[in-house]
Structure 1
Amino acid sequence: MVEIHSKARIRWACRRGMLELDVLFMPFVEEAYDSLDAKQQAIFQRLLTQEDPDLFAWFMGHEECKDAELNSMVQLILDRVRV
């Protein structure tokens, strides 16, 4: 797994092959990423290493992510969108 350390690399990793994911990740990284604690930032970075079809299924509610940490990050991002 490639570590994503700089904010520029995180922004780049947020650019996905699917517009639906871009509109979730880009605002989140710009508006909320810096307020996450170090553990949450690491979980978000790990989330960005997942495959687009899996991410799409999790965010669209077609499947539930089996990894509890990643699932909690998915829910955190979705909760921000719903507000």
Structure 2
Amino acid sequence: MNDDSSPEATLRKRLYWHSRRGMWELDLLLIPFLEQCYGDLAEADQAAFQSLIEEEDQDLFAWLMRREWPEDPSRRRIVKMIVEHAETTDNDRYRNL
């Protein structure tokens, strides 16, 4: 993170710290997605991500571990995007071994 104090940079910093959950499994999914994908998301998907990280850890864990899916369609969409990003990233990592 740099010293940029623009509204976008301030929002990104806030999202980063809210994405750090203290639960390793969630951190491994949320932070890379934020860093690598958030900036390219449509405005509605960015809003869905912002809303998602306000949820309780146990709900996030159940959704991101694919034990269940959120009922809200926009929330379900962003969860699936995060899961797919993690799967793609893992596949790329193992392909390069």
State TM-score, norm by structure 2. 0.77
Tell me, yes or no, if structure 1 residue 18 matches structure 2 residue 26: no
Structure 1 distance, partners of 2:44, 2:68, is 24
Gap regions ≥5 residues in structure 2: 1-9, 89-97
The total of aligned residue pairs comes to: 79
Aligned partner (choices 63, 69, 73) of residue 68 of structure 2: 63
| Segments of 4+ moved more than 4 angstroms | none
Structure 2 distance, partners of 1:53, 1:79, is 20
Gap regions ≥5 residues in structure 1: none
Cα deviation code 1:24-83 (max 9, x no counterpart): 011111111000111111010000000000000011121221111111100011111111
Q: Which residue number in structure 2 is paired with residue 7 of structure 1? A: 12
Tell me, yes or no, if structure 1 residue 54 matches structure 2 residue 59: yes
Equivalent position SS for 1:6: helix
Q: Using CA pairs under 8 Å that are at least 6 residues apart, name the structure with larger relative contact order, 1 or 2.
A: 1
